[in-house]
Amino acid sequence: MIPAAFEYHRPKDIAGAIALLEEHGDDARVLAGGHSLIPMMKLRMAEVPHLIDLQDIAGLNGIEVAGGLVTIGAMTTQADIISHGVLAEAAPILREAALQIADPQVRYMGTVGGNVANGDPGNDMPGLMQCLDASYTLVGPEGERTVSARDFYEAAYTTDRADDEVLTSVSFAAPIGGYAYVKQKRKIGDYATAAAAVQLSKDGGTCSAASIAMTNLSDTPVWSEAAGAALTGTSVDGAAIKAAVEAMLGDIDPTEDNRGPVAFKRHVAGIVLSRAIERAWSRA
C-alpha cells in the first residue's frame, strides 16, 4: 500500500529536529530505522503529515563501554549490536536478543532507539531494557532528561516521551552473572508470542539477585519484580522456578489475537520463562 502524502524533513542536528517537532506538534514524527513507523504509514494505521528523518544527525549512534556503564546511541542498529565484540563481553544478553529480532535485512536498518521509543508491546528491546534497569536520555526544548525504562511505558504506543522530545541514547550498568533471552514466535521474522529476558547473579549455589521481564504479554513490557524475588535466595530448583512463573503470570495481562487465545499465551509464557531461567542459571 501507499502511505498518505507527507512532508519529508532531514535536519542536520538535534536542535533542528526539536525545532521541527515544536513547529508541527502532533503532525510530526521522527524516523529512525523506519521498520515500525513506515509499515504503519503504508497500512494507513498512522498518518504523519511531517516525517523527520534522524539519519543525518551526528552523535546519535555508537556504543561505549566504560567504567562499568554501557551507553548505546539511539541510531545504533541491531546489526551493530550483534557485531560489537566489547558489548558482547559486557552485556551478552543484548546480542542474544538482537539475533532474534526479525531477519538480517531488518537488523541492518532497525535501530535500538526506534525499537524502544515507539511503545510497541511486541518489540524485543523494551522488555530487555527493563530487565537491565536501563535509562533513556531524552532531549527537548527544555533540555535533557533521563527516564527509567521501567517507568517509560504507559500503554500500547504511549510512552513518557513528549511530542517535542527525541530519545538520543540508552544506558545501563554492565550486568554480572547469567543471562538469557528466550523467544517463542510463529515463524522467523515474527513478533514474539511470548519472550522472556532473565539476568541473575549466583553466590555459591544461591541466587543472589534476579531480574525478569516479559515481552508481548500485556500492552506494555512487563518487568516482574515478584518473579525475580521468587528466585532470590534460592538454589533455583524446580520449586523456585515454578514460584517465579506463578509470580510472572500474576503480572501479565495478555489478550487474544492471531498469535493465540489468552490461555495459550499464558501457557507459552510459563514455558518460555522456565527455559530462560534454566539457561541463565546454567551460565551464572
User: Each residue of 207-235: pLDDT tens digit?
Assistant: 999 999 999 999 999 999 999 999 999 99
Query: Has residue 15 got a pLDDT over 90?
Result: yes
Give the pLDDT mean for 248-261. 97
- Other CB atoms within a 10 A radius of the CB of residue 160 amount to 15
Query: Has residue 35 got a pLDDT over 80?
Result: no
Cα separation, 40 vs 21, in Å, equals 20
Residue 117: half-sphere exposure toward Cβ, Cα within 13 Å: 30
Q: Given 1.10.3720.10, 3.30.70.1070, 3.30.43.10, 3.30.540.10, which CATH number is that of 7-53?
A: 3.30.43.10
Give the pLDDT mean for 236-245. 98
- pLDDT bin (cut points 50, 70, 90) of residue 46 is confident
Residue with cell 521501567: 150
Cell numbers given for 270: 510459563
3-state secondary structure of 206: strand
Cell numbers given for 1: 500500500
Query: Has residue 201 got a pLDDT over 90?
Result: yes
Cα separation, 195 vs 101, in Å, equals 11
Cα separation, 169 vs 87, in Å, equals 15
Residue with cell 498512522: 46
- pLDDT bin (cut points 50, 70, 90) of residue 280 is very high
Rounded alpha-carbon distances, angstroms, from residue 47 to 21, 146, 162? 15, 29, 18
Alpha helices in the chain (DSSP H): 14-24, 37-42, 78-83, 85-90, 92-98, 104-107, 112-117, 124-131, 149-152, 225-231, 238-251, 262-283
Domain definitions of the chain by residue range: 7-53, 63-173, 178-283
Give the pLDDT mean for 19-38. 89
DSSP state string for 80-141 = HHHH-HHHHHH-HHHHHHHTTSS-HHHHTT-BHHHHHHS--TT-HHHHHHHHTT-EEEEEET
Give the pLDDT mean for 59-77. 97
- pLDDT bin (cut points 50, 70, 90) of residue 189 is confident
Against a cut of 0.85, is the pTM above it?
yes
- pLDDT bin (cut points 50, 70, 90) of residue 169 is very high
The CATH code belonging to domain 63-173 is 3.30.465.10
Written out in words, the top-level CATH class of the domain with range 178-283 is: alpha beta
Give the pLDDT mean for 40-67. 91
